[in-house]
Structure 1
Amino acid sequence: MCAGCRHCLLLRARLRVTPHFWPSIHPVWRRCSSVEYCPVCSLLAPCHPGASTPTKCEPILDRTLRAAQVNLTVSCRPDRPAGISDRMTRMLAKPDSFDALPLPETSLRGLFRHFGPGMILMMTGVGTSHLLTAPAAGGRFEFALLWCIPVAYIFKYYGFEMAFRFTNATGRSMLDAYTTAPGKWPVWYVLVTTLIQAALGQAGRLAAAAAVLFYVFSEVLGLELSTYGLALGGLSVGIILYGRYAAVELATKMLAGLLFVSTVGVYLFRPAPLSEMGHFFTFEVPGGSWLIIAAFLGLLPTGMDVSLQASEWGKAKRVGMGRIREQLEQEGYARPFDPFASTKSDLTVDVSTLPEHAQEYCRRWFRIGLWDFSFGHVVSAVLAAIFLLLAAVWLYPSPVEGRAVIGEIAGIFPPAMRVVFLAGAFAATFSTAFNYFDGWPRVVAACCRNLFRTTAALPGIAVHQLTEAHRGTWSSEYNVYRLTMVYSLAAAVLIIAGLPRPVFLVLVSSALAFFIAPVIFFLNLYYCFTVIPKTDRVFYPSRFATWFSWFSLVVFTGLTVVVIIARIYQPLVEMLGG
Structure 2
Amino acid sequence: MSSTVSRFSKTAGPGILFACTAIGVSHLVQSTRAGADYGLFIVGFVILVTILKYPFFEFGSRYANSTQTSIIDGYKKLGKPALWLYFLLTISSMFFVTGAVGFVTAGFFENLFGIDFLGEWTIIILFAVCVAVLAIGKFNALDSLIKIIAIVLVVSTVAAFSLTLYNGPLVPIAGFEPKDLWDISGIFFLLALMGWMPTAVDLSSWNSLWTLERMKQTRYKPRLKETLFEFRLAYLITGILAIMFVTLGSFIFYGSGEELPNSNSLFAHEIVTLYTQTIGEWSYVFIAASAFTVMFGTIIAVFDGYSRSLQRTVELIFTKNEEKIRTKFRTLYLFFLILISGGSLVVVFQFGNNLKELVDFATVLSFVIAPVIAIFNFRLVTGKFLDTEHQPSMWLKILSVSGILFLIGFAVVFAVLKFGSI
TM-score after normalising by structure 2: 0.88
Q: Hey, what does 1:106 align to over in structure 2?
A: 4
Q: Given the alignment, which residue of 117, 121, 124 partners 1:222?
A: 117
Q: Hey, what does 2:195 align to over in structure 1?
A: 298
Q: Hey, what does 2:379 align to over in structure 1?
A: 526
Q: Is contact 2:108–2:288 with CA below 8 Å preserved after alignment? A: yes
Instruction: Trace 1:163-174 onto structure 2 (pairs within 5 A).
Output: 163-174=60-71
Q: Hey, what does 1:271 align to over in structure 2?
A: 165
Per-residue CA shift, 1:262-295, capped at 9, x if unaligned? 111222232288899xxxxxxx934322222112
Q: Is contact 1:144–1:285 with CA below 8 Å preserved after alignment? A: no
Paired AA for residue 199 in structure 2: T
In the alignment, does 2:322 pair up with 1:427?
A: no
Q: Hey, what does 2:210 align to over in structure 1?
A: 313
Paired AA for residue 245 in structure 2: F
In the alignment, does 2:112 pair up with 1:250?
A: no
Q: Hey, what does 1:159 align to over in structure 2?
A: 56
Change (3 A) 1:291 1:431: farther
**Equivalent-residue separation in structure 1 for 2:333 and 2:109 (angstroms):** 28
In the alignment, does 2:332 pair up with 1:480?
A: yes
Q: Is contact 1:449–1:455 with CA below 8 Å preserved after alignment? A: no
Larger radius of gyration: 1
In the alignment, does 2:267 pair up with 1:405?
A: yes
Which stretches of structure 1, 4 residues or more, deviate above 4 A after TM superposition?
272-276, 454-457
Paired AA for residue 381 in structure 1: G
Q: Hey, what does 2:394 align to over in structure 1?
A: 543
Paired AA for residue 234 in structure 2: G
Instruction: Trace 1:75-474 onto structure 2 (pairs within 5 A).
Output: 105-107=3-5, 110-182=7-79, 184-218=80-114, 222-224=117-119, 226-271=120-165, 285-287=181-183, 288-318=185-215, 364-396=222-254, 397-400=257-260, 401-403=262-264, 404-412=266-274, 413=277, 414-453=280-319, 458-460=324-326, 470=327
**Equivalent-residue separation in structure 2 for 1:489 and 1:293 (angstroms):** 29
In the TM superposition, residue 455 of structure 1 has moved relative to its aligned partner by 8.9
Per-residue CA shift, 1:141-198, capped at 9, x if unaligned? 222311121111100110111111111111111111111234x122212212222333
In the TM superposition, residue 501 of structure 1 has moved relative to its aligned partner by 2.2
Q: Secondary structure at the match of 1:411?
A: helix
In the TM superposition, residue 571 of structure 1 has moved relative to its aligned partner by 1.0
Q: Given the alignment, which residue of 561, 565, 572 partners 2:412?
A: 561
Deviates more, 1:494-503 or 1:444-453: 494-503
Larger proportion of helix:
2
Q: Secondary structure at the match of 1:247?
A: helix
Per-residue CA shift, 1:41-84, capped at 9, x if unaligned? xxxxxxxxxxxxxxxxxxxxxxxxxxxxxxxxxxxxxxxxxxxx
Per-residue CA shift, 1:6-26, capped at 9, x if unaligned? xxxxxxxxxxxxxxxxxxxxx
In the TM superposition, residue 555 of structure 1 has moved relative to its aligned partner by 2.4
Q: Is contact 1:140–1:398 with CA below 8 Å preserved after alignment? A: no
Higher relative CO (Cα under 8 Å, sequence separation at least 6) belongs to 2
**Equivalent-residue separation in structure 2 for 1:148 and 1:419 (angstroms):** 33
Q: Secondary structure at the match of 1:234?
A: helix
Paired AA for residue 61 in structure 2: F
**Equivalent-residue separation in structure 2 for 1:455 and 1:238 (angstroms):** 31
Change (3 A) 1:455 1:258: farther
Q: Hey, what does 1:99 align to over in structure 2?
A: none
**Equivalent-residue separation in structure 1 for 2:324 and 2:355 (angstroms):** 38
For these two proteins, the number of residue pairs brought into alignment is: 401
Structure 1 segments unaligned to the other structure (5+ residues): 1-103, 277-283, 324-360, 461-469, 471-475, 573-578
Structure 2 segments unaligned to the other structure (5+ residues): 171-179
**Equivalent-residue separation in structure 2 for 1:543 and 1:554 (angstroms):** 17
Paired AA for residue 304 in structure 1: V
Paired AA for residue 109 in structure 2: L
**Aligned-residue identity in percent:** 21
In the TM superposition, residue 453 of structure 1 has moved relative to its aligned partner by 2.4
Q: Hey, what does 1:493 align to over in structure 2?
A: 345
